[in-house]
Amino acid sequence: MSEDSARSRSRNRNVIYEKRRELLFDWCNDLSSGEVPEVEIVSLLQEHIPKYRLRADSLTQFGGYENQDWFIPSPALPVSPEDLALTPDQIRETLNYFRMYILYLSQLLVSNGTVIS
Protein backbone atom coordinates (compact mmCIF):
# COMPACT_ATOMS: atom_id res chain seq x y z
CA MET A 1 0.00 0.00 0.00
CA SER A 2 2.81 2.41 0.81
CA GLU A 3 4.43 1.80 -2.61
CA ASP A 4 1.20 2.77 -4.35
CA SER A 5 0.84 5.96 -2.31
CA ALA A 6 4.51 6.82 -2.94
CA ARG A 7 4.01 6.29 -6.70
CA SER A 8 0.86 8.41 -6.77
CA ARG A 9 2.61 11.18 -4.83
CA SER A 10 5.52 10.99 -7.24
CA ARG A 11 3.14 11.16 -10.24
CA ASN A 12 1.26 14.10 -8.70
CA ARG A 13 4.52 15.87 -8.01
CA ASN A 14 5.69 15.29 -11.59
CA VAL A 15 2.40 16.64 -12.96
CA ILE A 16 2.71 19.76 -10.80
CA TYR A 17 6.34 20.31 -11.85
CA GLU A 18 5.39 19.85 -15.51
CA LYS A 19 2.58 22.41 -15.22
CA ARG A 20 4.92 24.87 -13.51
CA ARG A 21 7.58 24.31 -16.16
CA GLU A 22 5.07 24.90 -18.97
CA LEU A 23 3.74 28.02 -17.27
CA LEU A 24 7.24 29.47 -16.80
CA PHE A 25 8.21 28.53 -20.35
CA ASP A 26 5.12 30.28 -21.76
CA TRP A 27 5.75 33.31 -19.56
CA CYS A 28 9.39 33.51 -20.72
CA ASN A 29 8.29 33.31 -24.36
CA ASP A 30 5.75 36.09 -23.82
CA LEU A 31 8.36 38.34 -22.24
CA SER A 32 11.05 37.62 -24.81
CA SER A 33 8.66 38.37 -27.67
CA GLY A 34 8.73 42.02 -26.60
CA GLU A 35 4.96 42.37 -26.57
CA VAL A 36 3.50 42.25 -23.10
CA PRO A 37 -0.29 42.35 -23.14
CA GLU A 38 -1.67 45.74 -22.15
CA VAL A 39 -4.02 44.15 -19.64
CA GLU A 40 -1.06 42.87 -17.63
CA ILE A 41 0.65 46.27 -17.62
CA VAL A 42 -2.50 48.05 -16.50
CA SER A 43 -3.21 45.47 -13.82
CA LEU A 44 0.29 45.93 -12.45
CA LEU A 45 -0.08 49.70 -12.37
CA GLN A 46 -3.56 49.88 -10.88
CA GLU A 47 -3.97 50.26 -7.18
CA HIS A 48 -6.11 47.49 -5.78
CA ILE A 49 -8.68 48.90 -3.39
CA PRO A 50 -9.91 46.47 -0.76
CA LYS A 51 -13.59 45.60 -0.94
CA TYR A 52 -14.57 46.08 2.66
CA ARG A 53 -15.94 48.96 4.72
CA LEU A 54 -14.95 50.15 8.15
CA ARG A 55 -17.73 49.94 10.67
CA ALA A 56 -16.34 52.78 12.77
CA ASP A 57 -14.20 55.67 11.63
CA SER A 58 -11.68 55.84 14.43
CA LEU A 59 -9.83 58.79 12.92
CA THR A 60 -12.68 61.28 13.00
CA GLN A 61 -14.94 59.97 15.76
CA PHE A 62 -12.32 59.54 18.45
CA GLY A 63 -12.82 62.32 20.98
CA GLY A 64 -10.10 61.39 23.44
CA TYR A 65 -10.09 59.39 26.61
CA GLU A 66 -12.76 60.16 29.17
CA ASN A 67 -10.54 59.40 32.14
CA GLN A 68 -7.31 61.37 32.54
CA ASP A 69 -5.57 58.34 34.07
CA TRP A 70 -5.41 56.61 30.66
CA PHE A 71 -2.77 58.83 29.11
CA ILE A 72 0.36 60.77 29.99
CA PRO A 73 0.47 64.28 28.58
CA SER A 74 3.44 65.03 26.39
CA PRO A 75 5.85 66.38 27.47
CA ALA A 76 5.40 64.75 30.87
CA LEU A 77 7.71 67.21 32.60
CA PRO A 78 7.59 70.95 32.05
CA VAL A 79 10.23 72.18 29.60
CA SER A 80 11.99 75.40 30.42
CA PRO A 81 13.71 77.61 27.81
CA GLU A 82 17.04 76.97 29.57
CA ASP A 83 16.72 73.26 28.79
CA LEU A 84 16.36 73.96 25.08
CA ALA A 85 19.21 76.44 24.79
CA LEU A 86 22.37 74.50 23.84
CA THR A 87 25.77 76.11 23.58
CA PRO A 88 27.81 75.62 20.41
CA ASP A 89 30.16 73.33 22.36
CA GLN A 90 27.28 71.13 23.48
CA ILE A 91 25.95 70.92 19.93
CA ARG A 92 29.40 70.03 18.55
CA GLU A 93 30.06 67.38 21.18
CA THR A 94 26.61 65.84 20.67
CA LEU A 95 27.26 65.53 16.95
CA ASN A 96 30.74 64.12 17.64
CA TYR A 97 29.17 61.53 19.95
CA PHE A 98 26.78 60.41 17.22
CA ARG A 99 29.59 60.35 14.64
CA MET A 100 31.80 58.21 16.89
CA TYR A 101 28.92 55.83 17.57
CA ILE A 102 28.23 55.44 13.84
CA LEU A 103 31.91 54.71 13.18
CA TYR A 104 31.95 52.15 15.99
CA LEU A 105 28.77 50.52 14.72
CA SER A 106 30.03 50.32 11.14
CA GLN A 107 33.31 48.73 12.32
CA LEU A 108 31.35 46.25 14.41
CA LEU A 109 29.13 45.30 11.49
CA VAL A 110 32.10 44.94 9.12
CA SER A 111 33.96 42.74 11.60
CA ASN A 112 30.87 40.50 11.85
CA GLY A 113 30.64 40.26 8.06
CA THR A 114 27.40 42.19 7.77
CA VAL A 115 26.85 44.05 4.51
CA ILE A 116 26.10 47.75 4.97
CA SER A 117 24.19 49.48 2.21
Q: How many domains does the chain have?
A: 2
Q: What tens digit of pLDDT does each residue of 55-80 get? A: 665 566 566 666 666 667 777 778 78
- Kindly state whether residue 108 falls inside one of the protein's structural domains: yes
From residue 28, give the alpha-carbon distance in Å to each of 15, 21, 64. Answer: 20, 10, 56
Taking 3-state DSSP, the helix, strand and coil percentages for the chain, each rounded to the nearest 5, stand at 65, 0, 35
- Kindly state whether residue 59 falls inside one of the protein's structural domains: no
Determine contact, residues 109/116, Cβ cutoff 8 Å: yes
- Kindly state whether residue 43 falls inside one of the protein's structural domains: no
- Kindly state whether residue 13 falls inside one of the protein's structural domains: yes
Q: What tens digit of pLDDT does each residue of 2-12 get? A: 677 777 788 88
75 upstream amide cis, omega within 30 of 0:
yes
Task: Determine what percent of the chain is predicted with pLDDT higher than 70.
Answer: 61
- Kindly state whether residue 25 falls inside one of the protein's structural domains: yes
- Which amino acid is residue 105, in one-letter code? L
Q: What tens digit of pLDDT does each residue of 21-35 get? A: 888 888 777 766 666
- Containing structural domain, residue 24: 1-31
Average pLDDT, the chain: 75
